[in-house]
Chains A and B, each alone.
Chain A
Amino acid sequence: MRNLRFSFFILIVSVFFAACDNESGSEKVDFDRQAFLVNMADNVIQPSIENFALEAEGLSVATNSFNENISLESLEVLRAELKEAWLVYQHLAFVQVGPVANVNLRDRVNIFPAKADVIEENINTQDYVLGSASNVAAKGFPALDYLLFGTGETNEDVIAYFGNPDLGNNRLQYLTDLVEDIQTVSNIISQDWPDYRSTFVGNTGTDVGSGTSLLVNEYNFQFDIRIKNAKIGFPAGGNPRTGGVLSPQDVEAFYSGWSGELAEKAVLSSIQVFKGEHFNANEDGLGLDDYLLALNAKTRDDQDLSVAIINQKTLALEEMEKISNPYSEVASAEGSQLVEVYNALQAVIPLIKVDMTSAMSVSITFQDNDGD
C-alpha cells in the first residue's frame, strides 16, 4: 500500500517536471512596470502636454494678431498655427489619462464634423456657453477649421467674413473664445500633470485606474473609434466594406482639407506612443512593445505581437501615404482608396484590443469576476 502511494507520488512529480521541462525553472517575465510608467510619464506624456500648451499659446498669439489686423498675412499665420496645434493634438489624444482625461480632451477640442449652423447661430445670438452639450460640435479645432476656411470661397471672402461691418466683431469674438477655450484646456492639463504624475507611476498594478490599464484602454479607444471609425469609416459610409451612404463632409478638417495629414500624424503618433519613443528626441524608451516582448506575447502565427502591431500600423500608414487628395474628395467616390486604409487599420484592431489587452490582462472594472 505504502509502495503504491509512493509510486503515485513519483508519478505525479515526474509528470509535473515533464510538463515544465521545456520551460526552465527560472524563466520569468522580466519587465519593470514602474520604469515603463516613468518613461511614459516623463518622456512621452509630459513633453506632449508641454508641446500642446506651446502650440495653443502660438495659436492664441496668432489670433490676437489677426484680431488687431485682419489681413491675408495674419490669416495665413493663424491657419499655420491651427495646423500645428491640431497635429500636436493627435499625439496627446493617445494618452488621455489623468488631467487629459479629466478635461476630456478629445471631446472638448476635436468633435467633428463641425456644425456650421450652430456656430453661425451662436455668433448671431451672442448667447452661448462653449461647455454646454449643444456646443460640442461648435468648438475646438473643427470649428476653427470652419471659421478660417469654410466661411468663404476665397481667402478674400474669409477676410471679408471677419471684416463684415455688422457681424465682424461677433465673429472675431467667437474665434477668440474658441482659441481661449483650447488654451484654457491646455493650461489646466499642464498645471495638473505634475500632481497626477506620482499617482500614475505609483500604481504599478493592472487594475482599473492603474496607469497601465488607463493607458491601454484609452489608446485602444483612440485608435479604434477616433481614428479608424471617425476619420476613415464614417466618411466612407460607415463600414466601407458593407457600403452605405458616403458622407465626405464628415471628414476631419473638411474645410482646410488637412484630413490626410492629420490622420497620418495620428497613426504615426500611435506607433510612437506604442514604442514609448521619447517625444522630443528620437530615442526609444520602454513602451507597450517592450512590455509585450517581455510577456512573450505572440500572434496566432507565432509572430511577436509587438512586431505584428508595428508592421500592420506601418502598412496602414503606407496606404494613407498613397492618397494625396483630401479624404473628402477621396470619399466621394465609391470603392475608394479609403477602403484599403480602413482595412489596414481594422487589421490592427484585434491585435491591440484583443491580443494586447489579453496578454497584459488589464481590468476594465472593479466588479467581481471569476475569469469569464
Chain B
Amino acid sequence: MTVTKWLPKYRLNQVKHIAPLATFRVAFGIMMLASIIRFWANGWIAKQYIDPDFYFPYLGFEWIQSWGEPGMYILFALMGIAAIGIALGAFYRWSATLFFVSFTYVELIDKTNYLNHYYFVSIIAFLLILVPAHKAYSLDAWRKKKQEFYVPAWSIHIIILQLTLVYCFAGLAKLQADWLLEALPLKIWLPSRADTPIIGPLLNYKLTAYLFSWFGAFYDLSIPFFLLWKRTRIFAYLTVIVFHFMTAALFQIGMFPYIMVVSTLIFFSEDFHKKLWHKIMPIQKPLLTHSSYFYKPIVLQYFLIIFFGLQILLPFRYALYPGKLFWTEQGYRFSWRVMLMEKVGYTQFTVNLPEKNKAFEVIPSQYLTPVQEKMMNTQPDMILQFAHFLRDQYQSDYNSEVEVFVESYATINGKGSRPFIDPAVNLATVKNSYQHKNWVLPYNQ
C-alpha cells in the first residue's frame, strides 16, 4: 500500500517546472555565503568557537567538539565553498551534503549559539540534499550538457511545507496570555529601541506593543496561506518584506529576516520563476520531461512522512514535562519559539570540598564568555552542564570529593525575579538527561 492512496488528490510525482526550485537554490546558497562572510568578518568564528574554554554540547552529541584554530576556519571555509556550490548548482549533491554536515556540526558545538534560524537552515540544507534542484540553470547541467526542466512536485512542496510549518508554529507559540493580553515581551523590548530612526518615538507607546503583538501572531499564522493563494500573493509578499525588514531594524536577529524574504519566493508560481530565469538565461528550450527522479520513491515517501511527522510533534514535546515551559525550558528549543520571552537570570556557583573543609565562590566569567554566561543563566540544562564542568575541574585540581551548589534567580517578561534552581541540591550528583528536572524550583512557589 502506498501513501498516495491515503492522499488521493496529492500526486507526489506530478510534473512541475524546476524554475521555483532553482531560484530557491540560488537564493539560499547566496544567503548562506553572505551569512558565512558576515560571521567571519565579525570575528565570531573565534569568539564563539575558538576562544571559549568550555562549550555546552547537546545531550548525546558530546563527541562534537570545536576544531580549534585553524580547524574552525577551515570548517567555515568548506561551508562557504559548499554554499557557493549550492548557489551555482555545482557538484550539487556533494555541495548540499557538505553544507548540511558542516553547518549542523558547527551548530551542535555549543547550545549557547542556538537560534531557531540556524535550525531552519540545517533543515533546509538537509531537504536540499534530497531534491534535484540542480538539473537546470546550473553548472552541473552545463557540465553534463543536459538541462532537465521538470521535477516531481514533492521536491518543491516539501520546502513550501517546511516554511509553512515554521510560520505556523511560530504563530501558535504566540497564542498565549502574555503575548496577546499584555503585549509581552514587546512592551519591554520596544521602548528600549526608541532611538530607532523615524518610528522610534512610536515605540514608547503601549498601544504599539499591542499592535505589533497581534499583528505578529496573525502574520505568522496566516502568511503561508496568503502566499499560497494566487489572489493575495503579491500583497502577502509585500507584507513579508515589510514585516521582516521591520524586525531586522528593531532586533538583533542577524540574517534571518533576509533569509525568509528570499525563501518565501518559492511560493510564487512557475511562470513567475520561469520569467525570472528567462531574463537571466534566455537560451533554454524545454527538453526531457522525465528525469531519473520520477521513480516511485516509496522509501522517500515514508521517510518524508516520518520526517515531517517528527517536526510536527517536536514542538509539542513540552507537554510531556510538568511545570511552566518558559521557566524550565524543557522542550523549548527546536520548536520555532522566536522572540517570545524576555528572560534574564543570575547564577552563583559555590563549590564545596567537604573533605578539605574548603568552599569556593565561582565567578562564571572566569570560564565563560559573556554570551555563554547570559544563556546559561536562564537555561537549567546549561546550569547543570556548567556545574558538572566545575565538579570535574575541582576534582582534578584537588583530588577530593566535590559538591556544587547554585544560588540562582530569573525573571520572565519582567514579572519579577524569583528563585530559579533549588540551592540545596548538589548538582554534582544530578545526572544530565531528558528526564524532568525536579531541581528547578516551581515558578509559583
Contact = CB atoms under 8 A, between A and B. Distances in A.
B161 interface: no
Contacts of B342: 358, 361, 371-372
Given A19-B180, A233-B361, 12 more contacts: A20-B210, A25-B205, A205-B193, A206-B192, A244-B352, A299-B417, A354-B345, A354-B411, A366-B252, A368-B255, A371-B251, A371-B342
B378 interface: yes
B36 interface: no
A239 interface: yes
Contact of B414 (A25, A297, A363): A297
Contacts of B367: none
Interface stretch (B122-130, B183-191, B302-310): B183-191
B417 A300 contact: yes
B34 interface: no
B344 interface: yes
B190 to A, nearest CB: 9
Contact of A28 (B188, B206, B210): B206
A328 B256 CA distance: 55
27 contacts: A19-B181, A23-B206, A23-B210, A28-B191, A204-B194, A206-B192, A229-B361, A233-B361, A234-B361, A242-B350, A298-B414, A349-B348, A350-B409, A354-B417, A355-B411, A355-B414, A358-B342, A361-B192, A361-B342, A363-B252, A364-B370, A364-B371, A370-B115, A370-B116, A370-B253, A371-B338, A371-B342
B59 interface: no
A181 B374 CA distance: 35
A194 interface: no
B194 A29 contact: yes
B416 interface: yes
A197 interface: no
B405 A242 contact: yes
A28 B117 contact: no
A64 B343 CA distance: 54
A349 B363 CA distance: 14
B416 A368 contact: no
Contacts of B97: none
B27 interface: no
A206 B193 CA distance: 7
Interface residues of B, number: 63
Given A205-B195, A238-B359, A370-B256, A358 B340 contact: no
A358 B195 CA distance: 18
B241 interface: no
Contacts of A287: none
A289 B203 CA distance: 21
Contact of B346 (A349, A369, A370): A349
B219 to A, nearest CB: 13
A333 interface: no
A351 B417 CA distance: 7
B16 interface: no
A371 B115 CA distance: 9
B253 A229 contact: no
B371 A358 contact: no
B358 interface: yes
Contacts of A301: 416
A212 B123 CA distance: 38
A360 B192 contact: yes
Interface string B388-411: 000000000000000001010111
Given A229-B363, A238-B350, A355 B338 contact: no
A29 B192 CA distance: 10
Nearest to A20: B210
Contact of A367 (B117, B343, B371): B371
Contacts of A349: 346, 348, 409
Contacts of A358: 188, 342-344, 411, 414
